[in-house]
Amino acid sequence: MNASAPLQGLRVLVTRPAAQADALCRLLEARGAQVQRLPLQAIEPVRQPALAARALAGMRDAAVWIFTSVNAVHYARQLDAGVWPATAAVGAATAAALERLGHAPLAPAQAFSSEGLLDLPQLQDLAGRRVAVISGEGGREALAPALRARGAEVERISVYRRVPLPHAAEAVARALAQVDALIVTGGEALALLLQLAPAVERPRLLGLQLVVPSRRVVEQARQLGFVREPLVPDQVADAAFVRCLEAWRADNKSMQ
């Protein structure tokens, strides 16, 4: 294997929204991968931004605002340019986005997930405290119930939405025919891809090597019928997705 190009010849389909795929695609290509792009969703503001802005302003006295994604940080800042309370982030990229705005967010040191965040000592005793979970429409539901169980008064505030993009069946078939591995941003995108794939191409899709952001999406992939065990990076960050594929490729090479 070429040490400077450990992904040489590997064909990877990236399904991220177009505006957020460039950095990941460049990293993959720098490591030798052949990248195909098929954005499955677009990220847009919520339909009623004024309501979301009022909800954010109404939680100014919260103990903490928890952000579930970089998009949540970006769109919340568009809606609310005021002084935010303490912040927390599920993932490393989300923490970095908050740091760029001058915050020092709570974040897991290793387990970048809802579970990792909930393990932090600062989020154990929340009796009577207000907490905002800031995310996209239809986002993760694990945080709010767990926080309420600890006595917190939780408000979930959606600041953006994911909009499915139409793709012709022929375009999806061509993309799937030219890849070995597939990076998917979440369970909603994974289900959408399965719907878009022509029936004749679904066996090939279900046999591809998936890279997904969380164990929750692994379980969904199993339920949908994906054959191979999906890969999960150690954090939701571009470099971590690339490292994950490199480790998988090296393991496969060693067994050949």
Q: What residues does each domain of the chain span? A: 11-40+165-255, 44-163
Going by their DSSP bridges, the two strands 64-67 and 87-89 should be labelled as parallel
Answer whether 11-40+165-255 and 44-163 agree in fold: yes
Domain 44-163 has CATH 3.40.50.10090: yes
The whole-number pLDDT of residue 3 equals 66
Domain range 11-40+165-255, CATH class: alpha beta
Give the pLDDT band of residue 2 (cuts 50, 70, 90): low
pLDDT band of residue 91 (cuts 50, 70, 90) is: confident
DSSP β-ladder status, 41-45 and 153-164: antiparallel
pLDDT above 60: residue 256 = no
Helices (H), the chain: 22-30, 49-58, 70-79, 92-100, 114-118, 143-149, 169-177, 187-196, 202-207, 215-224, 238-255
Q: Token pair for residue 155? A: 């408000």
Looking at 43-52, 117-126, 201-210, 232-241, which range is the least confident one?
Answer: 232-241
Q: What is the tens place of the pLDDT at every residue in 10-20?
A: 999 999 998 88
C-alpha–C-alpha distance, residues 114 and 198, integer Å: 34
Taking residue 28's Cβ as centre, other Cβ atoms within 10 Å add up to 23
* Residue 43 near residue 160, CB atoms below 8 Å: yes
CB atoms closer than 10 angstroms to residue 114? 22
Using pLDDT thresholds of 50, 70 and 90, give the confidence band for residue 237.
Answer: confident
What lies within 8 Å, CB to CB, of 172 at 6+ separation is: 38, 193, 196, 197, 198, 201
